[in-house]
Structure 1
Amino acid sequence: MREPARRPRLLSRALLGVVVLALATGGVVLGLTWLLPQRTANACTVTAEDGSTATIDADQADNAALITAVALRRELPARAASIAIATAVQESKLRNIDYGDRDSLGLFQQRPSQGWGTPEQVMDPVYATNAFYDGLVAVQGYEALPITEAAQQVQRSAYPDAYADHEPEGRAFASALSGHSPAALTCRLPMPEDEATVAEAVAGRLERDFGVAPSATTDEGVEIDAASFPGSSAATLDRYTWAAAQWSVATASVTGVTRVHVGDQVWDRSHGNDAQWTDAEPALAPGTVRVS
């Protein structure tokens, strides 16, 4: 009965010996990489025009997408979303956590005892984001203030200077998710186990985040009409189209979306760690984003 128990250990030692030999000989290590499974990153990156990048986890990007969508829905400038995202990174690492200092909760660590709402309300990311923006728009000239000053006037934090540390990712993701930086955001995600509910999930998130419904659902996917977004106009249609497209990518870890098509560009989740915006034909009509 002992012999079967030895075999796994012998096999492990043999494999270890191969790896040690490869390390000792040099150059052979690269030939062994096929033995190791390649894991998809499960992260989202924004690449700026100057080549600099900002990367956060997929669940954090999903919350950044919500925060920016609420700003667009309220017709606030991208600067408001930059401030909000930087604040949430500092307060909760951009996650909707159910704990914090004293009674602080949620994305922005708002305290029910300080009048932010009930615990249930501040744990609702839509409510919490709107509550933050309510405070922000009350700050006169917040658009021109440094992020740390604007955030501090809303949050009244014990560490007011810390918000400035997260300005780069706040600005990068707000710019992409508000459509000011087209084709700048990509996510590298593992393929979902179940794609059957994509249409329902996308419709639910569109209603929650933007207050709009899909314009059509066909065999080719769910279509989003950027012209239906609050604040969209002929002059801003291209920007809102890219906002919708990159929102679709940033929320894909939750909705299960595997492909986003906008104009003559497409993001394909099945490319894993190589997923990026690439050329696609035929081009979609202006204002249309198709997800599947």
Structure 2
Amino acid sequence: MRWGAALAVLAALAGYLTVQYLAGGGGAPRCRVVAGHGGGKSYEFTPEQTENAATISAVGTTRGLPERAVTIALATALQESGLHNLGHGDRDSLGLFQQRPSQGWGTKRQIMDPAYAAGAFYDRLVEVPGYAKLPLTVAAQRVQRSGFPRAYARHEPDARVLATALTGRSAAALTCEGRPAPTPDGGPDAVRAALVRDFGRDVLRPAAAQVRASVTATPATAGRGARDAHAAVTVPVPRGAPSGGTRREGWELAHWAVANSSALHIAKVSYAGREWSRDGYADEWRTVGRPRQGAGVGDDAKNGGAAAGGSGAKVVRIATGD
């Protein structure tokens, strides 16, 4: 009888795990962000959490806000919603930051838009005098007016690591693995729309100091139409002096693409001689091509992994496909 009971429990557990996997629960693909250059502490998030975090970061950097502002926003969203876009909460609280329509944060529809919600949070954060120098929990509390003001501090370590990756300060620091989401939202058009959603319309305009995107096709799919597998969006990186030995804007865009890989059916992201591939090596960024002349592997990594001639640091290439 004991053996029979044990087998029944195991069967029930197996059935539960199978349902969770098929439903995108416990078996859902995972994303991982690593502190520093790969030797530091790592944190895991779901694709939904990572996508929302990438939106929060993009909205902040597009406004010209410092990394500290992004860290505060991410820690706040981790505490308020776990980086999930919730349609419910205490009283009329909604969304990533649990903002309340009755308190002037916007309409329900607006608050449920992650880009709008992030912008509304930043609008109030920048009104806090000296917010960047305040303890994170103090800055967040002056925006949120929470009943648990000290709770934000516990999310600061993972928020800081997320911010360094999503703002592009850490190179090749974010990976995601797993299958595309069961949605029709893939393809170059969806990638372009999401870029505009998070970075604003200027992300698609050709300008010396702005990002521009254009759709091309890989040799394997040329002539089959933009909606075919592995069509690509090529995003030129803004010209400017590298920051800390890497081009922050480039790695910001590359990490954003990986963070959105499940929702947008992104199969491969390439930047600065490094490549992430959902089907090949989803848990790492691999060096591709040849390092530029005179640069060893170590130098190549320190400089963002620029490919031969440095051309790899000029564009982020996003290939889509199921």
Which segments of 5 or more consecutive residues in structure 1 lack a partner in the other structure?
Answer: 1-12, 20-38
Cα deviation for residue 216 of structure 1 reads 2.1
Shift of 1:56: 1.0
Q: Secondary structure at the match of 1:174?
A: helix
Structure 1 counterpart of 2:120, from 128, 131, 143: 131
Instruction: Look up the match of 2:289.
Output: 281
SS at match of 2:44: strand
Helix, strand or coil at the partner of 1:276? strand
1:47 aligns with 2:34: yes
Quote the Cα distance in structure 2 between the aligned partners of 1:151 and 1:281: 44
Q: Is the 8 A contact 1:112 1:119 kept in 2?
A: yes
Could you tell me which of 57, 74, 82 is aligned with 1:68? 57
Report which of the two structures shows the higher radius of gyration computed on alpha carbons: 1
CA–CA distance in structure 1, aligned partners of residues 272 and 287 of structure 2? 9
CA separation in 1, counterparts of 2:192 and 2:170? 24
What are the within-5 Å matches in structure 2 for residues 101-140 of structure 1? 101-140=90-129
Shift of 1:196: 9.1
Contact 1:54 1:168 in 2 (8 A): no
Pairing 1:175–2:184 present: no
| SS in structure 1 of the partner of residue 97 of structure 2 | coil
Give the number of equivalent residue pairs: 253
2:229 counterpart residue number = none
Amino acid at match of 1:160: P
The amino acid that maps onto 2:283 is: A
Q: How far does the alpha carbon of each residue in 1:257-279 deviate from its partner, in whole angstroms, 9 at most, with x for none?
A: 0100001100000036x531011
1:256 aligns with 2:254: no
SS at match of 2:280: helix
- Mean Cα deviation higher: 49-58 or 161-170: 49-58
Structure 1 CA distance for aligned equivalents of residues 155 and 174 of structure 2:
18
The TM-score with structure 2 as length reference comes to 0.73
After TM superposition, give the deviation of residue 217 of structure 1 in Å: 1.4
The CA deviation at 1:210 is 0.7
After superposition, the C-alpha distances for 1:61-101 in whole angstroms (9 at most, x for unaligned) are 00000000001110111111111011001101111111000
Deviates more, 1:42-51 or 1:92-101: 42-51
Q: Which residue of 2 aligns with 1:10?
A: none
Q: What is aligned with 2:248? A: 239
Structure 2: how far apart are the matches of 1:234 and 1:48?
A: 23
Aligned to 1:162: 151
Residues in 1 aligned to 2:182 and 2:85: alpha-carbon distance in whole angstroms? 24
1:197 Cα deviation after fit: 3.8
Query: What is residue 213 of structure 2 aligned with on the other side?
Result: 215
Contact 2:268–2:278 (8 Å) recurs in 1 = yes
Letter in 1 for 2:255: Q
Task: Give 1:75's aligned amino acid.
Answer: G
Letter paired with 2:145: R
- In the alignment, is residue 198 of structure 1 matched against residue 198 of structure 2? no
| Pairing 1:224–2:222 present | no
8 Å Cα contact 2:174-2:255 kept in structure 1: yes
Unaligned stretches of 5+ in structure 2? 11-25, 205-211, 219-231, 291-306
Q: Is the 8 Å Cα contact of residues 59 and 198 (structure 2) preserved in structure 1? A: yes
> Residue 141 and residue 183 in structure 1: after superposition, are their counterparts in 2 closer, same or farther (change >3 A)?
same
Given the superposition, is the C-alpha separation of residues 158 and 241 from structure 1 closer, same or farther in structure 2, using an over 3 Å criterion?
A: same
Amino acid at match of 2:135: P
Amino acid in the other structure paired with 2:314: G
Q: 2:71 aligns with which of 64, 79, 82?
A: 82
**Counterparts of 1:102 and 1:210 in 2: how far apart (Å)?**
31
Residue 31 of structure 2 aligns to which amino acid in structure 1? C
AA aligned opposite 2:236: D
Q: Which amino acid is the alignment partner of residue 257 of structure 2?
A: S
1:100 and 2:105 matched: no
Query: In the alignment, is the contact (CA less than 8 A) between 2:92 and 2:101 conserved in 1?
Result: yes
C-alpha deviation, 1:195, in angstroms: 8.7
Distance 2:75 2:129 in 1: 19
Q: By how many angstroms is 1:190 displaced?
A: 1.6
Greater helix percent: which structure?
A: 1
Identical residues among aligned pairs (%): 46
